[in-house]
Amino acid sequence: MTNAWLRILLAGLIAILSFSAYAAQCGSNGAELKSPVLCSRMFVFAGACGRPNYPYPGWPDVALVVGAWEKVSIRIISISVDAMIETQRWKNRFEKVAMLFIGNSFNADPMTPYRYATAGRSLPFGRTRLAVHVEQRFPDDDGMQFPAGQPVRQTHIDVHLTCEPAGASYLGNMIVWYRLDLEPPQSK
């Protein structure tokens, strides 16, 4: 198992096992909410390079779109994406074969700079696997605000992944660590 696959697996396990004592409040069913609660949510995506996942014009490289998942606004503390691209062949071992960034429609887009990845790890039977990772941490006091209850087209977080060769399959995850935005940020 490669380091990138281990990172994806470990991130998933951490997300599952790291809930605080008030974890039932994350994705609340209407119970009384308390703050500050640190929540996490993992989203998984898959697709093929060069094939749009969403039918909206101007979204040719969007691998994942996520609208509000909480009933209240949140403050994102940290966000990361890991993607694995696997193909039968590469055109040139040293050209850029994957570009990844996380964007959103509520605050400044993009949330992270593009991360480029080249080459990959050779696998049996002529296959090659390439891993790419991007992350962003925000100030713990304020975080990055993300509202609740708006349509996905207006308010969303998205993963932009451009990769080649066309038809190469990819699999990835996005993990968001956040606090429920129950109180306004403290002024300093």
What total number of domains does the chain contain? 1
- Torsional sign, CA 11, 17, 23, 27: positive
Give domain status of residue 186, yes or no: no
Here the CATH number for the domain that contains residue 24 is: 2.60.120
Parent domain of 36: 3-180
pTM for this prediction: 0.76
Share of the chain above pLDDT 70, in %: 68
Question: How does pLDDT run across 68-95, given as a tens digit for each residue?
Answer: 888 888 889 999 999 999 887 655 554 5
Give domain status of residue 185, yes or no: no
Helices (H), ranges, the chain: 3-17
Give domain status of residue 110, yes or no: yes
Round to whole Å and give the CA distance between 72 and 74.
Answer: 6
Round to whole Å and give the CA distance between 25 and 33.
Answer: 6
Q: Which residue has the tokens 């040719």?
A: 60
Of 94-103, 114-123, 156-165, where does the model show the most confidence? 156-165
